[in-house]
Amino acid sequence: MRTAIFATLALALPAIASADPMEDTIAARQGFYKLLGANVGIIAAMAKGETDYDAAGAQTAADNIVTLTNYNLAHVYVPGTSADEYPGKTRALGKIWEEFPAVAEKGAGLKAAALEMQAAAGQGQGEMAAALGKLGGACKACHDDYRAK
Ligand code: HEC
């Protein structure tokens, strides 16, 4: 059984790494934001009434968002991985690497909003929906300045 798992892993590994490690870094960064978006999406769908409000599900999504905001992103923000170097492959603007303290403030804003969502998500559909505005605003604040259209 174990041997079979290792054999499968060994076959799968070459597919994980692409020719350019910088492109893997970009893909990992985008994967992080996809996860963030997927969890916000669960909450947004409940807020809009597209799916039924479910306190446990909303709480799990909010907890995941907080977990993600604790993730150290330094390794996916390697210099040389902006849209200047990789046009069409990433929307990360080059000024991220020039304005680092300001970018970190956007990250801190996201973390604060995520904690508010964590406190609200399981309390009811209205509480959750009220916290969503600030959370979405924290995403937008960074995208407006640091993500290409
Ligand atoms: C500190 C800045 C910052 C914050 C805060 C931020 N983002 Fe982003 N986001 C980015 C950047 C930069 C990109 C572009 C990444 C790339 O293309 O390499 C991005 C890309 C994305 C993408 C596209 C990923 C893909 O498939 O390429 C999604 C979805 C996303 N963000 C969702 C969110 C959500 C939801 C939030 C808030 C909960 C959020 N982001 C908060 C900077 C931020």
What's the rounded Cα separation, in Å, for the pair 48 and 50? 5
Ligand 1 binding residues, C-beta < 6 A: 26, 29-30, 33-34, 36-37, 40, 90-92, 103, 106-107, 110, 135, 138-139, 142-143, 146-147
pLDDT 10s digits, 68-116:
999 999 999 999 999 999 999 999 999 999 998 999 999 999 999 999 9
Mutate to test the pocket of ligand 1, among 32, 66, 139, 146 (most ligand atoms within 8 A of CB): 139
Query: Do the beta carbons of residue 114 and residue 125 sit within 8 Å?
Result: no
For residue 42, pLDDT beyond 90: yes
What's the rounded Cα separation, in Å, for the pair 134 and 132? 5
For residue 18, pLDDT beyond 70: yes
